Amino acid sequence: MMNKHRLLTALFILCAISISASSFAGPFSKGSSRVSVALGNGQFLNDDYLILGLGGGYYLANGFEIGLDVDVWTGGDPSIYEITPTMQYVFQTPSVSPYLGVFYSHSYISDYSDSESIGYRMGIYIPTSEKAYFGFGVVNSEFQDCTDTAFNDCSDTYTELSFMFML
């Protein structure tokens, strides 16, 4: 299980970075917002799923975003829906923008107990146009109260691909 002190330390670092960030104009600046779409696959109880997601976020300070993502797992049984509040910091550069973030996820699983996880993500955003970005990164997620036999492991590390539009 992920050490909660490490998560709190990461949250503190993200907040400190956002407060001390120098002023810059750009897509990740204070007052900007994003809309993102997700498409992926997953497995639960030996059943394969197509994962469809939609997310949004708002930059409270230069580089510092709070957001909410919603995922629907389709094509398998049981039905799964995830709601994930997020915080992340994006280091803006001309060519690629590294990011570091933390999240809490609550999964609603029909006919099973709900599941909660906390984790972190890191990667890079690559501009595809002035207001669109492709993201590539790594995610580590730790399931909380992991006693259900439905989970083979209480942690998961995977790559993530994303596409987002800045508003």
pLDDT digit string, tens, across residues 53-91: 999 999 999 999 999 999 999 999 999 999 999 999 999
Domains of the chain are 4-19+26-166 (2.40.160.20)
Q: Are 87 and 11 in contact (CB under 8 A)?
A: yes
pLDDT digit string, tens, across residues 18-51: 444 444 567 899 999 999 888 888 887 788 899 8
Q: Nearest-CA neighbor of 56 among 29, 85, 71, 35? A: 35
Q: Nearest-CA neighbor of 90 among 141, 26, 6, 40? A: 26
Q: Are 53 and 163 in contact (CB under 8 A)?
A: no
Tokens of 34: 């994003």
User: What's the pTM?
Assistant: 0.78
